[in-house]
Structure 1
Amino acid sequence: MKKKKLLVLHPIIGPYRIDFFNALAAQYDFKCCVFMHKFSTINYDLKQIEGQLNFKPICLDIYHVTKLGIPKGFFKIIEDFKPDYVMLSECSIRPLLVHLYKFLLRKKFKTITLIDDSYDMVVGGNHFSKAHALAEKIMIPMSDEIITVEPRVNAFFQQKYGKGIYFPIVADEKRLRLQYEKALPVSQQYIMDYGLKDKNILLFVGRLIDVKNLKNTIRAFIKANIANAVFVIVGDGVEMSNLKEEAKECSSVIFTGMLEGEELFAWYDVADVHILASYQEAFGAVTNEALIAGCFSVVSKKAGSQCLIKDGVNGFNVDPDSIEDISNGIVKAFGLISEPIANKLKPSKMLYSFNEYFSNLKQGLENMR
């Protein structure tokens, strides 16, 4: 049976979407176009991940000719490839133009829009911006189908528009655990260098910005008062100096700065519990990364990745506005640990595999036909 043609138009491929796009490339006659090589504010660089892709993306970033950043050849790619489906990234000007192009020229391809927003953003009105919220209201009715990252969001759009396929932002655990395994020697070096033997390790990974709620997380960690506990904060950002000031009276908080590759993966190997207590978080792929590494996770109820947590099984969801609730979540998460595992990978704490999630997505897309 001839494969359907799928064209992906996306700003850039983030590391957290490698397995998603590779799986699509295996399933369809596939072409992927990205609009830029680098996304400096989040430190994404296409060249750093190209070796992990099973396809060669086309980058259009050298062809920008308008203030809207619309590259030459943007619509020609659609004309030449003649896709059955066009997958679009979220809600912005370029995806909107694809919808208009389809409508005005009466094209037959179906559009699929990726909606990465959490339930708090979609229903609670806690959007990144008013423009983003407006674009979403315009684009979702125009899309033939949407892919959502949280089941509550999916149920909301199914009820409102009759659209929605649930697929969270998750990595293929087999690929990622191989990388964690390779990083084990580095993790052992960390234990020696930082004196972490027999310590209970709480880990945060991400940008040090206000919405990550790290001041309250540090206060919650101190309040939890867990014996032999150390809070490791991996990342950099504008809040670094303020956070160091917040933690100056606590010798058990370690700031590593931004790390990548084995130096980052090794901290997942070392950690017992991961935390993401953000005020606002579209999803939070770090939750999936931590769970795959075998960490229990404490996750904000406002983060999309709260859907990966089953309270009392692989972590706890907490109210980011309550230091006490965050602190209690930390205490309870450490209470889930049965016994330390040294010099090898911890069992994954993911409830479902990448393949199980992708099977659901595949079925949903096939139902479009």
Structure 2
Amino acid sequence: MVSAGPARRADRRRAQARWRVALALGAAAALVLGVGGGLLRAGVPVEGAAWAWAGVQHAALMIGAFFGTVIGLERAVALGHPAAYAAPAATAAAAVLLVFGAQAAGAWLLVAGALAFTLDSALIVRRQPALHTALLLAAAMAFVMGAGAWAAGVRHDGVHAWWFTFLVVTIAAERLEMTRLMQRRRAAAPLLVAVLVALYAGAAVSFAAARAGHLVFGAALVALAAWLGAFDIARRTVRATGLPRYMAVCLLLGYAWLAVGGAAWALAAVGEPVRDIALHALGLGFVISMVMAHALVILPAVVGVKLEYAGVFYLPLVLLQVSLVARSVAPWAGPAWRAAGALGHVVAFVVFALCLVQARRRWQRLHTR
């Protein structure tokens, strides 16, 4: 006879597994809505009132609702407590409110999710005090700053700076964690902290002195790209084969786009027509390249889906890079290039999703045998 304790634990695990799947689907819905809104903003005609609202809320859907839910779900799985799922549940629910026109309610629910996410991050630091967990907490605080300013009605690129700080610092912290056993020069950690202090200073100053703040912010992004390129293990594993090499290629391409995004951010501050390049070099070139790099590792841990790598994963990566280059020439080649680039992003996302489905089937086929 099974005792009550193990039975309760098994029920809790099953309930959490259902929550993980439901929240992953919520994040996927936020991604679809955000991408549709992005197409509309890029000049691609998309019909429907929900898509029109998604176009207005594009940044909030992509950064707050989609990435907030995905990263919040990852953090909840790490904590292993049912209450930790409140953060991704709030950010996923915010997406629904935003696309149905309840902007104020959706925005403040996003703030609530960011605050809960910050609490989860503080618990991670308490459980495992280290530089990378402290950076995860700092990233969560940037999420609160961005969501709070946006909910309060601020419509300024300073909001985007805080939101991108959330994503960029989260990624930097996770790379630091994944390579913490790698031997680095003694100056590496202090250099990283100095770069991130400049990043936060630029985001903060951009509200009061936009040009100065954005120049500092852009320069800090370029410096972070240089730090990652110099100290990340990807520069070694790119000489490997299979999944390690694929991940390294994704990472190194992402770091290059991080440098492009930082340079474009600084140039936009002095009046150059490169704001769209800055936003999407960061949001797509850097962040989505990181997603493609880590999906085969993160999805099995978070959702419990086993995946088998194959070389076909290079296809969506190449499609993403080509579409980003096409979009980046739009300020000089014309708006049609921006729309073509946006459609190319969607093709890359769809192909990547199909590759994940095929990776799942490949794993089942191999392990059934």
Q: Which TM-score band applies after superposition, normalised by the shorter structure? A: under 0.3
Structure having the higher strand fraction is 1
Normalising by structure 2, we get a TM-score of: 0.25
Q: TM-score, normalised by structure 1?
A: 0.25
- Structure 1 or 2: larger helix share? 2
